Structure 1
Amino acid sequence: MDETHREFVDLVNALLTVDDGGLGDALVAFAAHAEAHFAQENEWMEKNDFPPRDCHIDEHNKVLASVYEVQRHLAEGDVAIVRELAVALMEWFPAHADYLDSALATWLVKRVHAGAPLVMRRKVVKA
């Protein structure tokens, strides 16, 4: 899950940094990743009877619907909307990962190993 999340962040960053000519390919790459990423998590939730799976799956579906809508707008020449999507994803993903994905990870570890996962967080030191 962590590796998939790093890839998600890298692909969102690509949507923010790629030149306009590369936006189409970057968006296709992100959409393919999101479809596979969300399908994997959805499968885990269904297979392991994750209690809040409906809410979690609904968030995945809403993100994919937004991605498909942005793809249509990009095909019509609207490049700015891709950057807007990337910013929205940057704002959405941390909370999604911290709350829904971490709850899923905890659920899976408890089911498989009868224990909770160890979560390490970096301490941010402000100067």
Structure 2
Amino acid sequence: MPLPPTCPMEFATMPEHFVEDAMKLLIFASRIPKALDGVVLDEFMNFIIMFMPSPEFIKNPYLRAKMVEVLNCWMPRMSGSTATTTLFEGHQLSLEYLVRNLLKLYVDIEFTGSHTQFYDKFNIRHNIVELLEYL
């Protein structure tokens, strides 16, 4: 991956809610029909693919799972948008790293330990499996 092995201090001090807010906005916009048509999503896709499997950079596994939810909303059969098709079938980082990173997150989710862990793991893994089936 193009990320360094250790997290730079500048990134580590950034509040995680910045990333969470961006992911929530992308999910909300993805649910509106044709809202993302004409929007270039390549940089968001790069960010998601690079940071989704990286607990060194984003420690919260549920925030990394939110990135999977964004990808799930972007699946062409869910979004109905032609713009999102190229994100999965023609995007270089997606072709190279997406399956590997989804599988890494699938395994990482096993080590979360909240009181609702069974249900959380099930929902997250369901989203990952849907993406893997599509890919």
**Taking structure 1 as the reference length, what is the TM-score of the superposition?**
0.32
Scaled by the length of structure 2, what TM-score is found?
Answer: 0.30
Greater helix share, 1 or 2?
A: 1
